[in-house]
Amino acid sequence: MSASKSSNTVSRSGRFSEGPALAVQSFSQSVTFDRRLWKHDIIGSMAHARMLQSIGVLSETECDAIVRGLEEIGEDIQQDRFEWSQELEDVHMNIESALTRRVPAGAKLHTARSRNDQVALDMRMWMRDEILDLMGDLRGLQNSLVRLGDRNRTVLIPGYTHLQRAQPVYLAHHLLAYVEMLERDWLRFRDAFDRVNVCPLGSGALAGSTLKLDREMVARELGFVDLDDQPRVTRNSMDAVSDRDYMVEFCSAAALCAIHLSRLSEDLILWSSAEFGFIRIADAYTTGSSLMPQKKNPDMAELTRGKSGRVVGNLMAMLTLLKGLPMTYNRDMQEDKEPLFDTADTLGSSLRIMAGMIDHTSMEVARCQQAASDPALLATDLADWLVEEGIAFREAHHLVGAVVGLAESKRCQLNELKVSDLKQIDRRFNRRALEVFDIKRAMERRCMTGSPGVREVAKQLKHWKKQLKGK
């Protein structure tokens, strides 16, 4: 064997007379990143072994030896004693070859199994765990948002459109908007879980096996069951080894969630600026400047906003990877792992850091109240008042526009105008018109479902606290 060649003894034995060039080995290996699948690979192999015993391919002694061997390998990996070898390409070959070195019967483990259905199995099992973790992280962030809103349930802020002050809302209402988005993200992940949770083992390389495997037994053992505890196995071997839809769905749900986090980040970044001054983020969640001693920067929110780009990019990478692949498995598919792993890691850490940051954020109540008390935010309320007086909304809109113009020319606030000023614009204005500028009453009037009124927001906070309790 020359210096630039390696010997790959498992997948190349028999057919090949020499090992791959070293450059080929390092180009094609995936063990440096897919070793994180080790636990699922081992659990999947144990279930496969037990099934092989049940159909008579392995004796009980052989099966026990294999299971014990796999347990020991798991222990070694956990203790960082396992020697990973790039020559053995991937996590599957590394574990199988370590097993065969310990247990002669290990050579029977790969009966009626291909790495193609094995990797599909490992990925599905890994994803189930990741999805459940992310769903928990989503609940964590929802809880943090609800708590911040609840702690500040009387705080009003301006709601914005076009980043211009529009109408007053309770801070809690603004925060609960994100809770709603995150709820839909949670539901999308739950929905994705359903399609991940189907067992592909038994599909072989692409065309199943001539041996009569008990696929249902494996599915049951590995928790691939429906709500009635019935095993869920894939129905088409070719689809099962080449399907990556569930990964795309996951990346898509994750990308949308990351976009929600990015928008939340943007709000927090704006709110923490001197210009807004609505919030104060605790020192533990901010960073300083290497040059400017006075700076306190909202880097965690900025990084979350930035990392959303990676998550969106990973979705594109995944779609592009699959485009144009003929049936069935193609080695291109090994490239599914890094974007997927990165997506789960990035989204999980973003969700957790955001929750921590929100738990360490306090409101600058005076600044919020000051901004929300701008009577111009209630100009629409004045138009609504005219509507209640029987005036068509388009005309009311026009009249209030004239009122705003008048206040501007007088350099005063809307609520500083006199009834006589209003009457000058339209004689149907009267004293009661100016009462719309009472912000407390204005917030009481917003009482429909979905509105930012005082009772409605209290109702929504109650709903979410109950819904998220203990989660």
Pick between residue 3 and residue 23 the one whose CB is nearest to ligand ARG: 23
Tokens of 412: 């005063």
Pick between residue 331 and residue 440 the one whose CB is nearest to ligand ARG: 331
Smallest gap from Cβ 101 to ligand ARG, in A, equals 20
Tokens of 159: 């709601």
Q: How far is CA 110 from CA 95, 107, 116, 368, in A?
A: 11, 7, 12, 65
**Contact indicator for 351, 134 with CB cutoff of 8 Å:** yes
Residues carrying an active site annotation: 162, 289
Between the two ends of the chain, the Cα-to-Cα distance in Å is 58
Smallest gap from Cβ 28 to ligand ARG, in A, equals 9
Pick between residue 197 and residue 328 the one whose CB is nearest to ligand ARG: 328
**Interface with ligand ARG (CB under 6 A):** 30, 34, 90, 115-116, 119, 329, 331, 333-334
Pick between residue 82 and residue 329 the one whose CB is nearest to ligand ARG: 329
Alpha-carbon Rg of the chain, whole angstroms?
Answer: 31
Smallest gap from Cβ 107 to ligand ARG, in A, equals 19
Tokens of 260: 């929600």
Closest CA to 335 of 203, 236, 247: 247
**Contact indicator for 26, 86 with CB cutoff of 8 Å:** yes
Helix (DSSP H) and strand (DSSP E) numbers for the chain: 18, 4
Smallest gap from Cβ 252 to ligand ARG, in A, equals 21
Smallest gap from Cβ 335 to ligand ARG, in A, equals 8
Three-state secondary-structure class, residue 132 = helix
Pick between residue 34 and residue 221 the one whose CB is nearest to ligand ARG: 34
DSSP result, 370-421: HHHT-GGGGHHHHHHHHHHTT--HHHHHHHHHHHHHHHHHTT--GGGS-HHH
Distance of CA 356 to the CA centre of its chain: 16
Smallest gap from Cβ 230 to ligand ARG, in A, equals 29
**Contact indicator for 225, 314 with CB cutoff of 8 Å:** no
Smallest gap from Cβ 243 to ligand ARG, in A, equals 13
Smallest gap from Cβ 212 to ligand ARG, in A, equals 24
Pick between residue 32 and residue 430 the one whose CB is nearest to ligand ARG: 32
Tokens of 111: 């009966």
DSSP result, 354-380: HHHHHHTEEE-HHHHHHHHT-GGGGHH
Pick between residue 122 and residue 221 the one whose CB is nearest to ligand ARG: 122
DSSP result, 33-97: HHGGGHHHHHHHHHHHHHHHHHTTSS-HHHHHHHHHHHHHHHHHHHTT-----GGG-SHHHHHHH
Distance CA 173, CA 454 (A): 10
